[in-house]
Amino acid sequence: MMKSWSPASRREDLQKLFQGYASGRPALPARALLRFLHQEQMELEATEETAERLIGTYEVEEAARGSGSMTFDGFLRYMESREGCVFNRAHACVYQDMEQPLSSYFISSSHNTYLTGDQLVGESHLDAYVYALRKGCRCLEIDCWDGPDMEPVVYHGYTLTTKIRFRDVVATVEQHAFQTSAYPVILSLENHCSEEQQEVMAQHLISILGNKLLSAPLPQAAAGGLPSPNRKVQVAPVLSDLVIYTSSVKFVSFSHAKQHQSHCENSSVAEKKARRLLRASGADFVQHNQRFLSRIYPAGSRTSSSNYNPQEFWNVGAQLVALNFQSLGLPMDLNHGRFQDNGGCGYVLKPPVLRSSRSFDPGCSKHSHKPTNLLLKTTCPLCLCPKVISASNLPVPRGGKALDPLVRVEIHGTASDSQRRSTHAVKSNSLSPHWDVNMDFSLRVPELSLVRFCVRDQTGLFSSDFVGQYTLPFSSLKKGYRWVPLLSRDGCSLDPASLFVFVWHS
């Protein structure tokens, strides 16, 4: 990933940086480049070998390469490469411990995956499963009902949503399950079928998925089967014995779960009830999610397929925070930002604060910022200080006028950490708006936080329209002078549009 070109203002910003370390010379010696890496980019692990590698990679002038130095053109190429991106490229690969119990991970999860529209009359389509899997989703929901000619169907029961065949859903999953991620796909089966058609379901799973079915006990692997909340379903042995049958049990209380719930049972809880639980006892919810799987799903009142903010449930360690992937906006931006970490594999190891035996309540504002297994007595917050410098090549609507862009930097984390700051708007400048605005954020639990850069077009005194955004975990944020890629509302790249920022935190 290399930025295609920079406007004059971006080149001027980088030229000043370059000249500050070149000290009047036409090129940066390796030692000067190393000093820049240490002092500005805060890459303290960099060595002279690092500087020499960068020169060899990005410098195109033979004379400079031969003398072990970097011209401004080489410096520009380096700064606009993947190594200059605000997202830590080491996190673009799977780097976390993948041998922990399943309850130790956030898992990218979809609600009513088959739907492409609303929950009442929307279309059910196989493409919805393809879309979710390509977005890194690892937990798919399949609502199964008796269909004609002994063929189970998938749709949102008791509504006018269209129906698709269960066997076609399984075939689609088989074809696309591991194109984006090699890690397991959890099939959350909401089972409303008769025993006869459950046997048909089992036959399709065996014949289509074959040896891709897992046969290890939880938590190393999982397949889901959720009984209907509306009526008692007798589960056919051939289906329940097929792989791992992790039944969904009704959540009664945290103490009841400790005494009666098995590790192979999960609780599927609607967002409103889950919100009441976390507000009543966030610490108990965190501890519950250290032992058991919790699946949170949108309220039934969200008939338009809108989404809740997933961050509040990640804060208590809920693993399967299911969203309507077909609905664009902030919740899906956060979901994409959370799960681009760890190679985009759909599994992100929960931070130590959610896996520790020590009590943690995300609703309490007095926590240490240190990423450790223990909550220390100090309440000194971490200070995040981004500087929004400029942008380049912002997209303009067809036939539209130049934008009046502003940048909003948002923190999404615990309640006490969630906040936002904005720059002023720059009038009629889509190509190279310049802000040079310093911001500061105080974070007590940064390891749970997401940072969102959002560009908006000011349309009135108190109104603005979305232009592009980029969200990433605080833990994946690189320090120093960095460029920020921008994504459209549907998550597609807006390249060559980008922001130029300076990031520092203590």
Q: Tokens 């400079």 — which residue?
A: 64
Catalytic-role residue among 38, 91, 111, 263: 111
156 belongs to the catalytic site: yes
Q: Which bin fits 131, alpha (ψ -120 to 50), beta or left (φ > 0)?
A: alpha
Task: Give the chain's end-to-end CA distance (angstroms, integer).
Answer: 29
Q: Helix, strand, coil % (nearest 5) of the chain?
A: 30, 25, 45
Query: What's the burial of 468, exposed, middle or buried (CB within 10 Å: 0-12/13-18/19+)?
Result: buried
Beta-carbon contacts of residue 150 (< 8 Å; ≥ 6 apart): 196, 197, 200
Chain-centre distance for alpha carbon 220 = 22
Closest CA to 318 of 364, 339, 287, 276: 287
In 256-372, DSSP assigns E strands to 266-270, 293-297, 320-323, 347-349
Catalytic-role residue among 38, 91, 125, 156: 156
Q: Is there a contact between 117 and 163 (Cβ–Cβ < 8 Å)?
A: no
Closest CA to 113 of 171, 191, 169, 180: 169
For residue 477, what are its two tokens? 């944020």
Chain-centre distance for alpha carbon 352 = 18
Q: If you ran DSSP here, which 8-state letter would residue 92 be given?
A: G
Q: Which bin fits 332, alpha (ψ -120 to 50), beta or left (φ > 0)?
A: alpha
Beta-carbon contacts of residue 109 (< 8 Å; ≥ 6 apart): 137, 138, 139, 186, 188, 295, 319, 320, 321, 322, 323
For residue 172, what are its two tokens? 């689609």
DSSP-derived 3-state class of residue 147: coil
Note the residue count of the chain. 506
Q: Which bin fits 139, alpha (ψ -120 to 50), beta or left (φ > 0)?
A: beta
Catalytic residue positions, numbered: 111, 156
